[in-house]
Amino acid sequence: QVIKCKAAVMWEANKPFSIEEVEVAPPKAHEVRIKILATGICRSDDHVVTGALVMPFPIILGHEAAGVVESVGEGVTSIKPGDKVIPLFVPQCGECSNCLNTKSNLCSKNDIGSGTGLMPDGTTRFTCKGKAIHHFIGTSTFTEYTVVHEFAVAKIDSAAPLEKVCLIGCGFSTGYGAAVQTAKVEQGSTCAVFGLGGVGLSVVMGCKAAGASRIIAVDINSDKFAKAKELGATDCVNPKDFKKPIHEVLIEMTGGHGVDYSFEVIGRTETMTAALACCQYNYGVSVIVGVPPAAQKITVDPMLLFTGRSWKGSVFGGWKSKDSVPKLVDDYMKKKFVLDPLITHTLPFTKINEGFDLLRTGK
């Protein structure tokens, strides 16, 4: 059966979301149709609105969510109707070279780099006003019902509170994993985190869980410092308070050494370069967590890397999604980490534009 439901459609860039009635086709072979019960708002969705992340329009955005399986297509064995699930914007097919390698997590079936906005078979499951609507990175969660491929969904504990664990679909896992998986922060180390949104705060939590002795939080919005400290930041720095470049401030704060690990969780080329420059010149590791803006290039002095620093990227915190998401939900249920401080507002779905206004104003 085709389901008619509400969705937030983005018809063109730099316009508000439009709440529309859409038709959601039944799942084809190896696909799953999910009733979305909670979805988070992430800066990566906004990057599509502004054109910093290039995707085809019209589109249904959203990629951080949790819901209940409504129906499954032919050949789906791992998941059944009624299961609680989290859609995965980084899939795990289990067959490609990245899935088979222990060092990698970015399954080759992902739609992040190519940005086709279609299901793996090259078609879409959404229509609105007679027009085909694109999917977003294989998830599209700003809708009451969505269809995802079986390799892009994880079954989770049926007792998990969906309005909280939806954050494990992106924000929390991305930040926490960047610290514990990608950087492999060590006990007693010094870390700097640029950007204190939900993902940046999750990096702070990851650094703390890994035993970092000093966690320097950097943001141009000082209103974010109280929460950063609550979650483990030892120092908070606002670059606007200094005349000199922020990397010099951080090197001075660490007695001339620089930090052991730095994380850029904003998605700006200037802060990516600053994060690299502030880490220890021989063994420092800098991790890019924020989505880089389209059509921008970085110019960097190669001496920064020649002396031994490592520059890394991290997508979805380095987790193999289908394996790790259920375990992260279990860890949350065992109170190994908190999610409540990351939830600032809870709004009805129809107020999605207000939600994005809150994101854009740093609230």
Six token digits for residue 232: 């483990």
Residue 189 near residue 118 (C-beta atoms within 8 A): no
Q: Catalytic: 108? A: no
| Angstrom distance (rounded) from CA 70 to CA 229 | 41
Distance of alpha carbon 280 from the chain centroid: 27
Q: What is the C-alpha to C-alpha distance for residues 129 and 20, in angstroms, rounded to an integer?
A: 9
Residue tagged active-site, from 42, 107, 207, 279? 42
To the query of whether residue 44 is one of the catalytic residues in this protein, the response is: yes
Alpha-carbon span 313 to 296, nearest angstrom: 16
**In the annotation, is 278 catalytic?**
no
* Residue 134: strand pairing partners: 59
Question: Could you tell me the CA-to-CA distances from 328 to 125, 129, 167, 183 in Å, in that order?
Answer: 29, 39, 11, 18
Catalytic residue among 44, 173, 286, 324, which? 44
Q: How far apart are CA 8 and CA 160, in angstroms?
A: 26
Let me know if 329 is exposed, middle or buried by CB neighbors in 10 A (0-12, 13-18, 19+).
Answer: buried
Catalytic member of 47, 135, 149, 247:
47
Q: Is 128 a catalytic residue?
A: no
For residue 249 the two structure tokens come to 């401030």
Please say if 135 is a catalytic residue: no
The DSSP code for 38 is: E
| Separation of alpha carbons 155 and 325, rounded Å | 8
Phi and psi torsions of 85, nearest 5°: -140, 160
Active-site annotation holder among 93, 166, 170, 279: 170
Question: Which residues are catalytically annotated?
Answer: 42, 44, 47, 63, 170
